[in-house]
Chains A and B, each alone.
Chain A
Amino acid sequence: MPSSVPLSWYLILSAILFGLGVAGFVVRRNIITVFMSIELMLNAVNLSFIAFSYQLRQVDGHIFSFFVMVVAAAEAAVGLAIILTVFKNRATLAIDDVSSLKN
Chain B
Amino acid sequence: MDARFIPEPVHLIRFAPELLLTVFATLIMVLDPLTKEGEKHRLGILALVGLLAAAWGAAVAAANPGTAFSDMLLVDGFATFFRYLSILVGVLTLACSFAYLKREQADSGEYYALLLFSIAGQCVMVSANELIMIFIGLEISSIASYVLAGYLRDDKRNNESALKYFLLGSFATAFLLYGIAWIYGITGSTNLAEIQRVLSNRDIAPSVNLIGASAALMFVGFAFKVSAAPFQVWAPDVYQGAPAPVSAFLSAGPKAAAFAIFLRVYITAFEPIADQWQAVLWASALATMIVGNFAALLQSNIKRLLAYSSIAHAGYVLVAVTTHSQIGTAAAMFYLAAYAFMNVGAFAVVTHFARQGERYVNIEDLAGLGQRQPVTAALLSIFLLSFIGVPLTAGFFGKFYIFKAALDANLVWLTVLGLLNSAVAAYYYLRIIVVMYFHEPSESVADLQSPAPGIQAVLWASAAATLILGVFPSWVLDFAGKAALK
The docked-state distance in angstroms from the alpha carbon of A67 to that of B252 is 27
The docked-state distance in angstroms from the alpha carbon of A41 to that of B167 is 13
Q: Answer whether residue A71 sits at the interface, using C-beta atoms and an 8 A cutoff.
A: yes
The docked-state distance in angstroms from the alpha carbon of A36 to that of B162 is 17
- Using CB atoms and an 8 Å cutoff, list the residues of chain B in contact with chain A: 131-132, 135-136, 139, 143, 146-147, 150, 153-154, 156-157, 159-164, 166-167, 170-171, 174, 177-178, 180-182, 184-185, 188-190, 236-237, 240-241, 298-301, 304
Q: Give min CB distance, A82 to chain B, whole Å.
A: 5
The docked-state distance in angstroms from the alpha carbon of A25 to that of B143 is 19
Residues from chain A with a CB closer than 8 A to the CB of B299 are 103
- Using CB atoms and an 8 Å cutoff, list the residues of chain A in contact with chain B: 11, 18, 21, 25, 31, 34-35, 38, 41-42, 44-45, 48-49, 51-52, 55-56, 58, 60-61, 63-64, 67-68, 71, 74-75, 78-79, 81-83, 85-86, 89-90, 98-101, 103
Can you identify 24 A-B contacts, CB atoms within 8 angstroms? Answer: A25-B171, A35-B167, A44-B178, A45-B178, A49-B181, A49-B184, A51-B185, A52-B184, A64-B190, A71-B135, A71-B136, A78-B166, A79-B146, A82-B146, A82-B162, A86-B159, A86-B160, A89-B159, A90-B156, A98-B160, A98-B164, A99-B160, A100-B156, A101-B161
Residues from chain B with a CB closer than 8 A to the CB of A81 are 147
A60 touching B190 by the CB < 8 A rule? Answer: yes
B184 touching A61 by the CB < 8 A rule? Answer: yes
Given contacts A60-B189, A60-B190, A103-B299, is CB(A18)–CB(B178) below 8 Å?
A: yes
Given contacts A38-B170, A68-B177, A101-B161, is CB(A82)–CB(B241) below 8 Å?
A: no
The docked-state distance in angstroms from the alpha carbon of A67 to that of B135 is 9
Residues from chain B with a CB closer than 8 A to the CB of A58 are 188
B135 touching A48 by the CB < 8 A rule? Answer: no
B143 touching A78 by the CB < 8 A rule? Answer: yes
A56 touching B301 by the CB < 8 A rule? Answer: no
Residues from chain A with a CB closer than 8 A to the CB of B164 are 98
Given contacts A38-B167, A60-B190, A98-B160, is CB(A89)–CB(B154) below 8 Å?
A: yes
The docked-state distance in angstroms from the alpha carbon of A103 to that of B59 is 43
B167 touching A34 by the CB < 8 A rule? Answer: yes
Q: Give min CB distance, A66 to chain B, whole Å.
A: 10
B174 touching A21 by the CB < 8 A rule? Answer: yes
Query: For B157, B177, B236, which residue has the most chain A Cβ atoms within 10 angstroms?
Result: B177
Residues from chain B with a CB closer than 8 A to the CB of A56 are 185, 188
Residues from chain A with a CB closer than 8 A to the CB of B131 are 64
Residues from chain B with a CB closer than 8 A to the CB of A49 are 181, 184
B166 touching A42 by the CB < 8 A rule? Answer: no
B188 touching A48 by the CB < 8 A rule? Answer: no
A85 touching B132 by the CB < 8 A rule? Answer: no
A84's closest neighbor in chain B, by CB? B153
Of the candidates A51, A71, A79, A101, the one whose C-beta lies within 8 Å of that of B241 is A101
The docked-state distance in angstroms from the alpha carbon of A102 to that of B300 is 10
Residues from chain A with a CB closer than 8 A to the CB of B136 are 67, 71
Of the candidates B163, B184, B300, the one whose C-beta lies within 8 Å of that of A103 is B300
Given contacts A89-B154, A98-B160, is CB(A75)–CB(B170) below 8 Å?
A: yes
Residues from chain A with a CB closer than 8 A to the CB of B139 are 71, 74-75
The docked-state distance in angstroms from the alpha carbon of A54 to that of B163 is 37
Residues from chain A with a CB closer than 8 A to the CB of B135 are 64, 67-68, 71
A98 touching B163 by the CB < 8 A rule? Answer: yes
The docked-state distance in angstroms from the alpha carbon of A48 to that of B190 is 14
The docked-state distance in angstroms from the alpha carbon of A79 to that of B185 is 30
B298's closest neighbor in chain A, by CB? A103
The docked-state distance in angstroms from the alpha carbon of A67 to that of B137 is 11
B160 touching A85 by the CB < 8 A rule? Answer: no
The docked-state distance in angstroms from the alpha carbon of A58 to that of B184 is 11
Residues from chain A with a CB closer than 8 A to the CB of B163 are 31, 82-83, 86, 98
The docked-state distance in angstroms from the alpha carbon of A54 to that of B59 is 41
The docked-state distance in angstroms from the alpha carbon of A98 to that of B301 is 19
Q: Give min CB distance, A25 to chain B, whole Å.
A: 6
| Apart from the given pairs A38-B174, A79-B170, 11 other A-B contacts in the complex at a CB distance below 8 Å | A11-B185, A42-B174, A49-B181, A51-B185, A64-B135, A75-B170, A78-B166, A82-B146, A82-B159, A89-B156, A103-B299
B149's closest neighbor in chain A, by CB? A82
B304 touching A64 by the CB < 8 A rule? Answer: no
A101 touching B178 by the CB < 8 A rule? Answer: no
The docked-state distance in angstroms from the alpha carbon of A21 to that of B173 is 13
The docked-state distance in angstroms from the alpha carbon of A38 to that of B169 is 10
The docked-state distance in angstroms from the alpha carbon of A56 to that of B299 is 53
A52 touching B174 by the CB < 8 A rule? Answer: no
B170's closest neighbor in chain A, by CB? A38
